[in-house]
Structure 1
Amino acid sequence: MAIFAIGDIQGCYRELEQLLDRINFDPSEDSVWFAGDIVNRGPESLQALRFVRNLGEQAITVLGNHDMHLLAMAHRDEASLKPKDTLAEILDAPDAGELLDWLRHRPFLHHDRDLGYGIVHAGLPPQWDMSEALARSRELEAALQGPDYRDFLAHMYGNEPDQWDESLSGHDRLRYIINCFTRMRFVDANGRLDLGLKCGPGEQPDGLFPWFQAPGRRSANDHILFGHWSTAGQSSKVNYSDFNVYALDTGCVWGGSLTAFRLDEDGGWASISCRGQLTPGEA
């Protein structure tokens, strides 16, 4: 039995099929972890979401910002969709309710102690060790899966607060947590989030750090797989192994590649080239 992790699909179902064929994935025996952003911007979001859901227990999927955007748009008028969104086919599908309910019950962070790996869409703030991060993931999942989840979805957008404080409460607390798990890239020396900057690691101004290079990061000894950041996955400026992190998003929807990493052996990467649906700046 093999265990793989795959980066952001973003509706590129054809490329997912090709990658699974490349790695000889057997859904009756093998397992796969997905780094989130199953849907949006690519041409086959509905097919991708159905496929991943139908893998059942063979797949572990953490939630990304585009997955959360889909859940939010499901409770708004379709006029709220962004011009580049490719979510309407999901919202109009006869099985939309089942797909959205399944998505709403996915985790934000998964950690396998035996394998020694965790997976998150974006990252972890430096103030949290893995135990703290898992506790915050459960807190967020309880809100998303609870009876008041529509209220949570209505208040999750925004860049504030940008600094962790255990005393945070209500929507502010949940918004900070979800921004870490699904949107973060850079932090300052005090761990304050900078959610506006989207350049690659090593291209940021002085005073900012990729989240995995943050001074005093408490999860530094944990092996963490992450997606979300295509310029990180395509960058040669950082030796990620020095920080125990694995950048899985290699920009399939941009015309880059879709990438898999094998977890149950000594590692090993496989990628396939992608068609590309967007140009930089459109995501």
Structure 2
Amino acid sequence: MATYAIGDIQGCLDSLLLLLERCRFDRDRDRLWLVGDLVNRGPRSLDTLRFVRDLGPAATTVLGNHDLYLLMVAAGLDRRGKGDTLDEVLAAPDRVELLDWLRRQKLCHLEGDFCLVHAGLLPQWTATSARALAAEVEAVLQGPSCAEFLANLWGSEPLSWSDELQGWSRLRVIVNAMTRMRFCSLSGAMDLKTKGEATDAPADHLPWFDIPGRRSTDTVLIIGHWSALGLRIEDKLLALDSGCFWGRHLSAVRLEDRAVFQVDCSNGESQV
């Protein structure tokens, strides 16, 4: 059995299928760990959702910001982005079943020495405490207060974590850290505006994984979200968003031996 961790798919199913061929993935034997952002921008978001859902226990996925955006749009709670490609999902006859499956996925997955999360963990959190915080969000997202949660999810405040936070503010910080974060101040305050490369950090900020004293350094963090960062393989960090939709690569790392598999997406998804 092998476990393949794969970067942001964003509706680029043709690239994913080709990558799985290159990995020689066997759904009856192997496992996929997906870093989130299954949907949006690419041309086959609907087919991607169906494919991953139908893999059943062979696939573990965490929620990314685009996945949550789909849930918000489906609930009528967000303005449509000009580049989104969600109409096919929203019009699908199995829309209800797919969205129900999506909202039941984890925000953070912890197993052995590995922690799978879309964007990152705040420096104050251990992987174990982050998993407990993710469970708070998952319980609300999967429960009767889901619509109210989604209505209160939008926004970037507060930017810092405190154990004293309660209610929607508490859940919003957890979601923003795990699905949107790239840079933090040394005190752990998020900057949620700056994108670009790691060297583009605002003054007095660093990439979140470089903050001194970060408490999750004993765990291998597997992330996506940051396409400008590209594929980055370190002892305790596997950053896997290598810009498939942007014409670069879709990447997989086999966790058992860190072998890398890639698909060249430079010709565009429709020509893969």
> For the superposition of Structure 1 and Structure 2, which TM-score range results when normalised by the shorter chain?
over 0.9
Residue number among 192, 196, 201 corresponding to 2:198 in the alignment: 201
- Shift, 1:83, TM fit: 1.3
Residue number among 220, 229, 233 corresponding to 1:232 in the alignment: 229
Aligned letter for 2:140?
A
- Shift, 1:240, TM fit: 4.7
Residue number among 232, 247, 266 corresponding to 1:255 in the alignment: 247
Partner of 2:106: 107
- How many residue pairs align between the two structures? 268
- Shift, 1:206, TM fit: 3.6
Poorly superposed stretches of 4+, deviation over 3 Å: none
- Shift, 1:131, TM fit: 1.4
Partner of 1:12: 12
Gaps of 5+ in 1: 278-283
CA distance in 2, matches of 1:159, 1:215: 24
- Give the secondary structure class of the aligned counterpart of 2:24: coil
Deviations 1:15-68 (A, max 9, x none): 001000011011111110000000000001011110000000000000000000
CA distance in 1, matches of 2:258, 2:94: 37
Partner of 1:271: 262
Aligned letter for 1:27?
R
CA distance in 2, matches of 1:224, 1:55: 23
CA distance in 2, matches of 1:199, 1:82: 20
Contact 2:110 2:128 in 1 (8 A): no
Aligned letter for 2:234?
S
Partner of 2:150: 153
Partner of 2:70: 70
CA distance in 2, matches of 1:110, 1:171: 22
- TM-score, length-scaled by structure 1: 0.92
CA distance in 1, matches of 2:136, 2:70: 21
- Percentage of matched positions with identical amino acids: 49
CA distance in 1, matches of 2:197, 2:156: 20
Contact 2:12 2:244 in 1 (8 A): yes
- TM-score, length-scaled by structure 2: 0.95
Aligned letter for 2:257?
D
- Shift, 1:203, TM fit: 2.6
CA distance in 2, matches of 1:64, 1:54: 19
Which range moves more in the overlay, 196-205 or 224-233?
196-205
Gaps of 5+ in 2: none
Aligned letter for 1:111?
L
- Give the secondary structure class of the aligned counterpart of 2:60: strand
What is the correspondence of 1:186-197 to structure 2 with a 5 Å cutoff?
186-197=183-194
Aligned letter for 1:156?
L
Partner of 1:41: 41
Deviations 1:163-209 (A, max 9, x none): 10111111111111100110000000100000000011123234111
CA distance in 2, matches of 1:120, 1:205: 23
Aligned letter for 2:248?
G
